Amino acid sequence: MDVDSQSLMLLTLVKGLAELGYRFTVFTLVDGDARYLWEVSGHQVSLIGSESSGFIDWSNYEGIILSSPEGKGLISSLMQEPFVSVPVVWIIQEDILGQRLKRYAEEQQDLMSQWRSAFRRADVIVFPDVSLPMLYTSLDTRNFIVISGSPADIWAAKSYSPSISIEDLRESYGFSERDLMILVIGSSFFYDEIPWDYAAAMHALAPQILKLTRVLENQVEFAFLFGKSTDDYGSAFQELATHMGFPDGSVRRYAMDGDVDTLLAMADIVLYGSFQEEPSFPSLLLRAMSFGAPILAPNLTIIKKYVKNEVHGFLFHPSDPSTLSRAFSLVIGQHKLSTLAGSVASKGQSLAENMLAFDCISGYAKLLENVLQFPSEVILPGPASEIRQDTWLWDLFAKKIREKKAQYENHGSNYTSIVDLLEIQSAENLRVANDTSVDDYPTQLDWDDLADMEIFEDIERRELQELEERVERTSESWEGVYQKARKAEKWKFEGNERDDGELERIGQPVCVYEIYSGEGAWPFLNHGSMFRGITLSKSARRSKSDDVDAVTRLPILNETYYKDILCEFGAMFAIANKVDSIHRLPWIGFQSWRAAAKKVSLSKRAEETLEEMMLADNKGDAIYYWVPVDMDQDDAEKNMNLNFWSLCDHLNAGRCSGQFEGAFSLMYGLPEKMSALPPMVDDGDHWSSLHSWVMPTPSFLEFIMFSRMFVDSLDSLNNYGSPATCMLGSSNPEKRHCYCRLLELLVNVWAYHSARKMFYLNPVTGEVAEQHPLEQRDMWLKYFDFALLKSMDEDLAEEADDGLEVKLSRRWLWPFTGEVHWQRIFDREREERYRRKMDKKRKAKDKLLDRQKFGYKQKALGQ
């Protein structure tokens, strides 16, 4: 976090976007002097490392802006679920990586692959000018854009302070103080080749230059800037100059990879010698204006947009050489430069200071409008047309720039770029791979010894088998064999389903299942005996853990559509499906991985309090929750005094209560004109969110029974069209996770109206407080009666058993969210088990009769 042009651009950008309504959280990988400037501007800066970046919940943000290639250290966590859908805008202002890509492609393909993968993760890669994308072409995955405008060139001019005077510099370059030095610069598109527009400019100016050399006492010197220092274009240009009549030695060529700033500081006049239209304002021309030199430039569209002729510079028509001669004549005075040239140069320098600031900020504002998608409850930021910030924050950086000038010669830094670090790591990996000794490979003698050992073991195994066959043993009954087989099957280890974690939970009153959907959530999961993970992605289960695979337990989660719309509720359905096979404790709980990310997960003190409450069991049928729904509300939302249903509407595009009422009415078959929205008291107490609660296991199964029917009705309302519609969200992410935020609040409605006591457990202190006392509730008990719900569940099971889903035009969700059971299914399953048992007995009896009739046939020894 250095004080440089990048920090200036970012601070200005953040200030301009903040005025539109955007809110920013600032992270840095390396601390530095610029941190103070951020904090003075009102932004708290958090220092993180590439390792600690895994402990940040990136889903809290609508987008991520990475400001340099150093962001590569964070990309790995952003490439994992649940963060892969968070938009990433990556700003690349340096060429340090681009200059090395050609070498990577030839010699270090592993580095090339790493950077290409990282660039592919970004939704947009932003460059400040058109030259940089050309360097990074090999990493282009069709996500490159250019947003013109960077204070880098102005910063270079402001902070330039050589150790010797300009006169001494000119002398060191072979120019005298009295020489008229004309620096010819061009487009970055001609970095590696001769720009022939330069020749046209020389041809147009040749007569005037020859005239000046006769009239003025000064010598006119041309310095051309293009190509690399390794190129050999000097003789060609000198020959061209001689052919046009220029004096010997008056034309020189300098490389673009040299000290460009010194040449610009020494130049009396800067001529922009590229005549082709360009998409953005030329970077070198902007830098020349910042150094205070009068400029001569063709009246290209992008240049005319900012520079007024004879006000900020001198413009000419590229197709008319006489206009260049006229412009040049206005610059030249009696001795060196005219008074007009000095005035124009000064105004041009003032213009350049903030010329592209507005374009930069508005460009990013338009980009964010297209990339970011905001949830329905937020106040949207203003459009780009309302931007008021049109200058860089030079005043904030003025003191630091003066300090930089005083320390100009000290360019060193103790910080190693991630580009260099990755190269070092790649070289080390290659060295280790090539450093393998020949002695590590087996010799022929080793192979012979191995063959002898295998032969000896095979002979020994055969002898033991023959001895076992000769030993007399009492025959065992078939019933005993069956019992041993069943016992072995019962205790057979099933992958990741029985390990130390399960042994630790023996004797515990509760197991809290932590729901997660990808490797990015691993750092937020607990490892205590009270907790067990449950993953919504098969490939994301933690190794060496007994995490539950929700997809295996509930196959409908294999379908991305249903996994997305159900979100963490799908994990609850998976646990409830044949719950006895996985959970046999008296209490059950759930906690979203986001609870730890938001720092509201249970502390050790809260865990102890919860265990004491459950062991005492003096609260009756109760639910304990520790993440309040109003946790993330800002001051504006708190001032709105939202009740339960208005808060639900606020979180679901204003349609929560309507959708809930429609689903509730459809679920119970209520008349159309009858109110079907259960009343929820507004008493100032907390409601539960983030699926973070604990309740008795029988109550949980009752809640799931209710929830399955409710979710099925809700799905019916949103699946009447093709494709399916979502009324609970406005942005694409909200529509993809359509039911999620409504289902987070469903447990409150069920617990409230089924007369469960509700307790808020402070996750830090462990204090417990009853919420919404029973005597103050207006409850719809008849709709939440267990007998009614059980009857409705059996009716649906009977319909599913009859194949009703085949008759429906839509997908019927209910049969796929859990067990389907009613009396006829129980009877059929019992009959099937009895039939299999009798078949097994019949086969055993037939086998015994065959053995008694024909005897036991023993194999010959050695076969």
Residues 703-719 pLDDT 10s: 999 999 999 999 988 87
How far, in Å, CA of 45 to CA of 27, rounded?
A: 6
Answer whether residue 661 shows pLDDT above 90: yes
The single-letter code of the amino acid at 22 is Y
Tens-digit pLDDT profile for residues 310-327: 999 999 998 888 888 888
Q: In the structure encoding, which two tokens stand for residue 828, read together?
A: 């059929």
Tens-digit pLDDT profile for residues 373-409: 998 888 899 999 999 999 999 998 888 777 766 554 4
Average pLDDT over residues 262-274: 91
Contact 198, 186 (CB under 8 A): yes
Q: Which residues, at least 6 apart from 431, have a Cβ–Cβ distance to it below 8 Å? A: none
Contact 793, 705 (CB under 8 A): yes
Contact 327, 316 (CB under 8 A): yes
Q: How far is CA 211 from CA 99, 151, 217, 556, in A?
A: 44, 39, 11, 87
Q: How many CB atoms lie within 10 A of CB 516?
A: 27
Contact 10, 24 (CB under 8 A): no
Instruction: Report pLDDT for 412.
Output: 45
Contact 617, 586 (CB under 8 A): no
* Residue 552: band (very low, low, confident or very high) from pLDDT cuts 50, 70, 90: very high
Average pLDDT over residues 32-42: 89
Lowest-pLDDT range of 80-84, 216-220, 348-352, 370-374: 216-220
Q: How many CB atoms lie within 10 A of CB 610?
A: 25
How far, in Å, CA of 456 to CA of 238, rounded?
A: 87
Average pLDDT over residues 673-677: 90
Cis geometry, peptide bond prior to residue 82 (ω within 30 degrees of 0): yes
Lowest-pLDDT range of 224-238, 261-275, 576-590: 224-238
Answer whether residue 668 shows pLDDT above 50: yes
Question: Chain-centre distance of CA 476, in angstroms?
Answer: 63
CB-count exposure of residue 708 (10 Å: 0-12, 13-18, 19+): buried
Look at 456 and 594; give whichever has higher pLDDT: 594
Is pTM beyond 0.85? Reply is no
Average pLDDT of the chain, as a whole number? 85
How far, in Å, CA of 610 to CA of 623, rounded?
A: 11
Q: Which residues, at least 6 apart from 167, have a Cβ–Cβ distance to it below 8 Å? A: 177
Task: Specify the pairing of strand 587-592 against strand 693-696.
Answer: antiparallel
Cis geometry, peptide bond prior to residue 723 (ω within 30 degrees of 0): yes
Answer whether residue 496 shows pLDDT above 50: no
How far, in Å, CA of 712 to CA of 103, rounded?
A: 58
| Nearest-5° Cα angle at 824, 820 to 830 | 95
How far, in Å, CA of 624 to CA of 370, rounded?
A: 42
**Most trustworthy range by pLDDT among 30-39, 121-130, 822-831:** 121-130
Contacts of range 2-5, beta carbons closer than 8 Å, 24 or more positions apart? 2/32, 2/33, 2/34, 2/413, 3/32, 3/33, 3/34, 3/37, 3/397, 3/400, 3/404, 4/34, 4/155, 5/93, 5/150, 5/151, 5/152, 5/154, 5/155, 5/156
Contact 734, 648 (CB under 8 A): no
Answer whether residue 467 shows pLDDT above 80: no
Instruction: Report pLDDT for 48.
Output: 86
How far, in Å, CA of 193 to CA of 848, rounded?
A: 95
Answer whether residue 702 shows pLDDT above 60: yes
Which regions of 731-791 does DSSP assign to beta strands (E)? Answer: 757-761, 768-771
Give the three-state DSSP class for 324. helix
**What residues does 225 pair with on adjacent strands?**
254
Name the phi and psi angles at 720, rounded to 5: -80, -20
Q: How many CB atoms lie within 10 A of CB 824?
A: 13
* Residue 799: band (very low, low, confident or very high) from pLDDT cuts 50, 70, 90: confident
Which regions of 772-855 does DSSP assign to beta strands (E)? Answer: none
Average pLDDT over residues 252-269: 88
Cα end-to-end span (Å), the chain: 78
Q: In the structure encoding, which two tokens stand for residue 516, read together?
A: 């997660």
Q: How many CB atoms lie within 10 A of CB 77?
A: 19
Provide the b/e sequence for 15-37 (b: ≥16 CB within 10 Å). Answer: bbbbebebeeebebbeebebbeb
In the numeric block, the tokens 């559509």 are attached to: 561
Answer whether residue 415 shows pLDDT above 70: no
* Residue 652: band (very low, low, confident or very high) from pLDDT cuts 50, 70, 90: very high
**Most trustworthy range by pLDDT among 441-455, 493-507, 570-584:** 570-584
Instruction: Report pLDDT for 297.
Output: 92
* Residue 438: band (very low, low, confident or very high) from pLDDT cuts 50, 70, 90: very low
In the numeric block, the tokens 């790591």 are attached to: 425
How far, in Å, CA of 408 to CA of 410, rounded?
A: 6
Look at 198 and 778; give whichever has higher pLDDT: 778
How far, in Å, CA of 314 to CA of 326, rounded?
A: 9
DSSP letters of 497-510? TSSHHHHHTTT-SE
Instruction: Report pLDDT for 168.
Output: 86
The single-letter code of the amino acid at 798 is E
Instruction: Report pLDDT for 234.
Output: 59
Give the three-state DSSP class for 215. helix
Instruction: Report pLDDT for 313.
Output: 95
Contact 160, 294 (CB under 8 A): no
Average pLDDT over residues 667-675: 90
Total residues found in the chain within this entry: 863
Tens-digit pLDDT profile for residues 515-526: 999 999 999 998
Name the phi and psi angles at 85, rounded to 5: -95, 0
How far, in Å, CA of 506 to CA of 426, rounded?
A: 47
Q: Which of 411, 362, 369, 371 is nearest to 389 (CA)?
A: 362
Look at 620 and 117; give whichever has higher pLDDT: 117
Instruction: Report pLDDT for 214.
Output: 64
Tell me the percentage of the chain whose pLDDT exceeds 70.
84
Q: Which residues, at least 6 apart from 860, have a Cβ–Cβ distance to it below 8 Å? A: none
Tens-digit pLDDT profile for residues 806-841: 445 457 899 999 988 777 777 777 888 888 989 998
Instruction: Report pLDDT for 321.
Output: 80
Which regions of 505-619 does DSSP assign to beta strands (E)? Answer: 510-516, 531-535, 548-549, 587-592
Helices of type H across 335-415: 339-354, 357-371, 394-406
Tens-digit pLDDT profile for residues 171-219: 888 888 888 888 988 887 655 555 566 777 777 777 777 676 666 666 7
How far, in Å, CA of 145 to CA of 150, rounded?
A: 14
Instruction: Report pLDDT for 377.
Output: 83
Q: Which residues, at least 6 apart from 465, have a Cβ–Cβ distance to it below 8 Å? A: none
Q: How far is CA 647 from CA 41, 447, 637, 644, in A?
A: 33, 74, 9, 5
Answer whether residue 722 shows pLDDT above 60: no
